[in-house]
Amino acid sequence: MISKSTIEQVFETARVEEVIGDFVQLKKAGSNFKGLSPFSDERSPSFMVSPVKQIWKDFSSGKGGNAVTFLMEHEHFTYPEAIKYLAKKYNIEIEETEQTNAQKAEANERESLYLVNEFANTYFQKILFKTDQGQAIGLSYFKERGFTNETIKTFNLGYSLDDWQAFTDEALKNGFQLEFLEKTGLTIVKSDKKFDRFKGRVMFPIHSMSGRVLGFGGRILKTDKKAAKYLNSPESEVYHKSKILYGIYHAKQSIAKEDNCYLVEGYTDVIQFNQTGVKNVVASSGTALTPEQIRLVNRLTRNITVLFDGDAAGIRASIRGIDLILEQGMNVKVCTFPEGEDPDSFAKQNTLEELTAYLDQNAKDFIQFKASLLIKESNNDPIKKAETIRDIVNSISKIPDQIKKEIYIQECSRIMDISEDVLFSTLAQINKKESQEASKTYKSQQKAFNVIKKDQPTRKIDLQYELERKIIEILLLYGNKTEDFEDLVLKEGEDGDLQLEPVVHNAKVFEKVYLDLQEDEMQFTNETFKTLYYTIIDTLNQEPEFSTRNFVNKLDQDLAAEVTTILMDDERYNLHDWERNHIIPKEKNHSIAQLVNQTILTLRCFLIDKKVSEYQNETLNNTSNTKSVLEDVKDYLGLKMLLSRKLGKVIGGKI
Predicted confidence (pLDDT) per residue in 554-566, tens digit: 888 788 888 888 8
Residue-wise pLDDT tens digits, 581-626: 444 444 544 578 888 888 887 887 777 777 667 666 666 666 555 6
**Residue 218 pLDDT:** 95
Provide Rg for the chain, Cα atoms: 32
Q: Where are the domains of the chain?
A: 4-89, 105-239, 248-424, 463-546+586-652
Rounded (5°) CA angle 614-620-622: 95
**Residue 445 pLDDT:** 46
Q: Which of 203, 202, 201, 300 is nearest to 245 (CA)?
A: 300
Rounded Cα–Cα distance for residues 152 and 245 (Å): 19
**By three-state DSSP, how is residue 194 classified?**
strand
Q: Which of 503, 502, 510, 456 is nearest to 478 (CA)?
A: 510
Q: Which of 89, 120, 109, 122 is nearest to 22 (CA)?
A: 89
Burial group, residue 141, by CB count within 10 angstroms (0-12, 13-18, 19+): middle
Residue 514 has pLDDT above 90, yes or no: no
Q: How many CA atoms lie within 13 A of 144 on its CB side?
A: 9
Rounded Cα–Cα distance for residues 367 and 374 (Å): 10
Rounded Cα–Cα distance for residues 495 and 467 (Å): 38
Residue 430 burial (CB count, 10 A)? 16
Q: Which of 291-295, 421-425, 463-467, 488-492 has the lowest mean pLDDT?
A: 488-492
Confidence of residue 181 (pLDDT cuts 50, 70, 90): very high
**Which residues fall within 8 angstroms of residue 71, CB to CB, at 6 or more apart?**
19, 77, 81, 82, 85, 86, 210
* Eight-state DSSP code of residue 233: P
Ranked by mean pLDDT, the top range of 93-107, 163-177, 329-343, 466-480 is: 163-177
Rounded Cα–Cα distance for residues 75 and 78 (Å): 9
Rounded Cα–Cα distance for residues 300 and 294 (Å): 10
Q: How many CA atoms lie within 13 A of 410 on its CB side?
A: 6
Rounded Cα–Cα distance for residues 347 and 343 (Å): 6
What is the mean pLDDT of the segment spanning 146-154? 96
**Which residues fall within 8 angstroms of residue 87, CB to CB, at 6 or more apart?**
6, 10, 93, 94
Q: How far is CA 340 from the centre of its chain?
A: 40
- Fold category of 4-89 in CATH: DNA Primase; Chain A (3.90.580)
Confidence of residue 315 (pLDDT cuts 50, 70, 90): low
Confidence of residue 277 (pLDDT cuts 50, 70, 90): very high
User: In terms of DSSP bridges, do strands 261-264 and 281-283 run parallel, antiparallel, or are they unpaired?
Assistant: parallel
CATH class of the domain defined by 248-424? alpha beta
Q: How far is CA 285 from the centre of its chain?
A: 23
**Residue 559 pLDDT:** 85
Residue 145 has pLDDT above 90, yes or no: yes
The β-bridge partners of 264 are: 283
Q: What percent of the chain has pLDDT over 70?
A: 79
- Within 131-220, residue ranges assigned H as helices are 132-133, 140-144, 149-154, 166-173, 178-183
The β-bridge partners of 506 are: 484
**Residue 633 pLDDT:** 55
Confidence of residue 461 (pLDDT cuts 50, 70, 90): low
Whether 4-89 shares its CATH topology with 248-424 is answered: no
Concatenating the DSSP letter of every residue in 299-319 gives TT-SEEEEEE-S-HHHHHHHT
**Residue 492 pLDDT:** 61
- Start-to-end CA distance of the chain, whole Å, equals 52
Residue-wise pLDDT tens digits, 39-70: 887 778 889 999 988 899 888 888 888 998 89
Average pLDDT, the chain: 82
Residue 445 burial (CB count, 10 A)? 10
Q: Which of 565, 564, 563 is nearest to 533 (CA)?
A: 563
- Give Cα separations from 592 to 52, 510, 513, 598 (angstroms): 19, 12, 12, 10
Q: Which of 77, 79, 81, 42 is nearest to 58 (CA)?
A: 42
b/e map 25-63, b = 16+ CB within 10 Å: bbeebeebbbbbbbeeebeebbbbbbeebbbbbbbbeeb
Superfamily of domain 105-239: DNA primase, catalytic core, N-terminal domain (3.90.980.10)
Residue-wise pLDDT tens digits, 375-409: 776 667 788 888 888 888 888 888 888 888 888 88
- Give Cα separations from 17 to 55, 86, 195, 577, 631 (angstroms): 9, 13, 45, 19, 59
Q: Which of 6-10, 256-260, 448-452 has the lowest mean pLDDT?
A: 448-452
Rounded Cα–Cα distance for residues 131 and 133 (Å): 6
- Within 366-462, residue ranges assigned H as helices are 366-378, 382-397, 402-416, 420-455
Position with higher pLDDT, 585 vs 512: 512
Rounded Cα–Cα distance for residues 53 and 65 (Å): 10
**Residue 442 pLDDT:** 47
Rounded (5°) CA angle 160-166-168: 100
Residue-wise pLDDT tens digits, 83-116: 888 998 999 887 665 656 655 555 578 888 999 9
φ and ψ at 228, to 5 degrees?
Answer: -70, 145
Rounded Cα–Cα distance for residues 483 and 505 (Å): 8
Dmax of the chain from CA atoms? 110
